[in-house]
Structure 1
Amino acid sequence: MESHSPTRVVLLSCGSFNPVTNMHLRMFELARDHLEDTGQYRVVKGIISPVSDGCNKKCLIEACHRLEMARLATENSDWITVDSWESLQPEWVETTKVIRHHYEDLVTLEQGPDSVDTVKSAVRRVEEKSFEISSYDRKRDDPQLMLLCGPDVLESFEVPNLWKPEDVTEIVGRFGLVCITRSGSDPLKLVHKSDVLWKYRKNIHVVNEWVTNETSATHVRRALRRCRSVRYLLPDSVLDYIRQHKLYSSESEQKNADVLLALQRYRNAINS
């Protein structure tokens, strides 16, 4: 039988990273271990992509700070990087479009500039809703891009009018995702309940985190606001940066409090 080398995988994590925590970094390590244990994959890169200020999420501090903290958090990693493209966009960018952007970058690096037009043509077919899963399949030796997330993303797929159905199909059908469990979550049940997720279940990798860590950026911000210690929840370099720039005060928690969330505007648009 012909044997093939493991598929190279690039993991992409999108989110606020407000601030980045040790758990954000831990997710990458868990995902890599899980995928490589199958013998089918070799994880070659991880990408942290902070959301832009255009998201208008309450309590979201400026992207320049979130980017720098993410860079500080990953400076000792030999495979996790930080990408600024999404965070520098003037408006909030749909997750699917962020994934496509990074896919194009991967193809350009692997196949050269001449391949870009082919990929962009396929992306246009997606945007014109003539998308089929096979329409821009990668070559056998190309790396595969997977979305790294928690179970909240799978849960959000089932929220009415939150995601375009074709976007969910593209994410799980074309790219695939790795979902890290948390206490009380049941991602496999979510997959079972959804016809789309069930159809592409082989592209959804559920990773159990046996050493539970419920650290969240929300809890960290609350502790900082109350002058409580958050040491060992964040990399020391990130904590030093927060202290130096006096981030996460009671005032910053009210940022964008009266502004319509970009995601809500998006939902209103697709419902109109």
Structure 2
Amino acid sequence: MAKIGIYGSSFDPITNVHLWTASTVMHRCKLDQVIFLPCSSKRPDKTLHVSDEHRWNMIVMAIQGNDRFVADDYEMKQPGWEIATYITLKHFKAKYQEDEIYFIMGADLLLDIGEGKWKKSKELIRENKFIVMARDGINMLSAISKSPILRNSDDGQTFHLIDKGLAMEISSTYIRDEFRLGGEPRYLMPDSCYSYIKEHQLYK
């Protein structure tokens, strides 16, 4: 049985922080594989800045050379109104029936789920396992204890909390702003992705 982490994000663009985070989570949680899952541009709650094709190409370039990193375009292919993490995880649990599936997310998303803001929040928490990364200013244990949705599923196996060393501030938004304003974010992403953005004149 393998342990697989599903790492969903906009990846707009993918950054060295995404890669470092995935590598650190893999090491600390003894994962065999991390699946990079770019979100769909069809989601009504997302505003993306380049096409799915560009985001996908950069992800593939960024993870090249690491056979434990895999890209999957499952959500990109789904109709926007049908996309929900609950459905996504059902898909991957069916695809990898012999393996253990974890959803990797930040503590800010844990708060949203605990407040019932996600589709099928109760079922999502009750039926799945999560690796939760610290975010500045968020007490993860307190968030779980204050939410009936979270605390009633806290069986010691549902949440793997990583509370040290992952709250880095460099984001895709920061990098987009640097490109837009004529900055130089070259060393915040893989060289191949930086060259790709320059070649296609993205994030202007």
Is TM (by shorter chain) over 0.5? yes
Deviation at 1:223, TM superposition (A): 0.9
- Cα distance between partner residues in 2 of 1:237 and 1:168: 38
Question: Is the 1:50–1:84 Cα contact (8 Å) retained in structure 2?
Answer: yes
Question: Is the 1:147–1:176 Cα contact (8 Å) retained in structure 2?
Answer: yes
SS at match of 1:24: helix
Counterpart for residue 87 of structure 2:
97
Q: Give, as a single letter, the amino acid of the residue that structure 1 aligns with 2:121.
A: V
Counterpart selection for 1:149 from 79, 94, 105 = 105
- Cα distance between partner residues in 2 of 1:216 and 1:105: 31
SS at match of 2:168: coil
Q: Give, as a single letter, the amino acid of the residue that structure 1 aligns with 2:131.
A: V
SS at match of 2:188: coil
Judging changes above 3 Å, is the alpha-carbon distance between structure 1 residues 60 and 156 closer, same or farther for their aligned structure 2 residues? Answer: farther
TM-score by length of 1: 0.68
Does structure 1 residue 214 correspond to structure 2 residue 162? no
Q: Give, as a single letter, the amino acid of the residue that structure 1 aligns with 2:140.
A: P
Bigger helix fraction: 1
Counterpart for residue 45 of structure 1:
33
- Cα distance between partner residues in 2 of 1:186 and 1:61: 34
Deviation at 1:236, TM superposition (A): 1.1
Does structure 1 residue 13 correspond to structure 2 residue 2? no
Q: Give, as a single letter, the amino acid of the residue that structure 1 aligns with 2:35.
A: I
TM-score by length of 2: 0.89
Does structure 1 residue 194 correspond to structure 2 residue 147? yes
- Cα distance between partner residues in 2 of 1:24 and 1:205: 19
How many residues align? The count is 200
RMSD: 1.8
Q: State the percentage of identical aligned residues.
A: 26
Deviation at 1:200, TM superposition (A): 2.3
Counterpart selection for 2:18 from 24, 33, 43 = 24
Q: Give, as a single letter, the amino acid of the residue that structure 1 aligns with 2:101.
A: L
Unaligned residue ranges in structure 1 (runs of 5+): 1-6, 37-42, 108-141, 250-272
- Cα distance between partner residues in 2 of 1:59 and 1:241: 17
Question: Is the 1:182–1:214 Cα contact (8 Å) retained in structure 2?
Answer: no
Judging changes above 3 Å, is the alpha-carbon distance between structure 1 residues 60 and 94 closer, same or farther for their aligned structure 2 residues? Answer: farther
Question: Is the 1:171–1:177 Cα contact (8 Å) retained in structure 2?
Answer: no
Name segments (4+ residues, structure 1) moved above 3 Å.
none
